[in-house]
Amino acid sequence: MRLAGLTVFLTALAWGGEFVVLENGQRLYADRHEREGAVVRVFAHGGMSEFDASRVVAVEREETVEAAAPAEPETAAAPVPRTARDLVDEAAHRHGLPAGFVRSVVTAESGWNPAAISPKGAIGYMQLMPGTARALGADPHDPAQNIEAGVAYLRALLVQYDGDTARALAAYNAGPGAVSRHGGVPPYRETRTYIQRVLREFQKTAAARETHAAR
């Protein structure tokens, strides 16, 4: 299963970026892009990916939405607390990933337990290793930072593996080094079970949404 086939990307908010559309239908969110000869460079979230220009079929400007000015309240309303699912959905929007897919990763990683720590030391909702969290400039014990960094890392892996969801999930679970050594999904039972669980959970939630929409 590839990223483009997971689901229609969630509607982008007003970040003023663009989407680079590849020949396979995949749409990559980008802060900007540049073309040099036969190479297109895509810049997003502090990283850069290169693609053959022949693979890029279009660049679409991101639609921005101007929010209507709210009515002046008589008294200041208390802020509505954000749940972990709100944080996940918001991070998924920011990084151009289906919220249901990211939720499925959280379910498989931590079961939505913010205090979860694995035997190997992975922390929080997205089960970030301390080294990965440091590289992303995040405090893994802070729920919002944990989710934001985990989603950013997941998206980076999907871009790195050209939208190959299985390899990206394998790298998230076992590390990119294991994927490189084995030339794909490593033959680890834990990793293969993890991939199946994420995809099964995502398919289940997608089916539930379709059933609800049909009513």
Active site residues per annotation: 109
| Helix 99-110 × helix 189-214 angle, to 10° | 140
Question: What number of helices (H) and strands (E) belong to the chain?
Answer: 8, 6
| Distance (Å, whole) CA 52 – CA 37 | 9
CB 30 within 8 A of CB 18: yes
Check residue 37 and give left, alpha or beta (phi > 0: left; psi -120 to 50: alpha): left
Residues of 174-208 as b/e, b for ≥16 C-beta within 10 angstroms?
A: bebebbeeeeebbeeeebbebbebbbebbeebbee
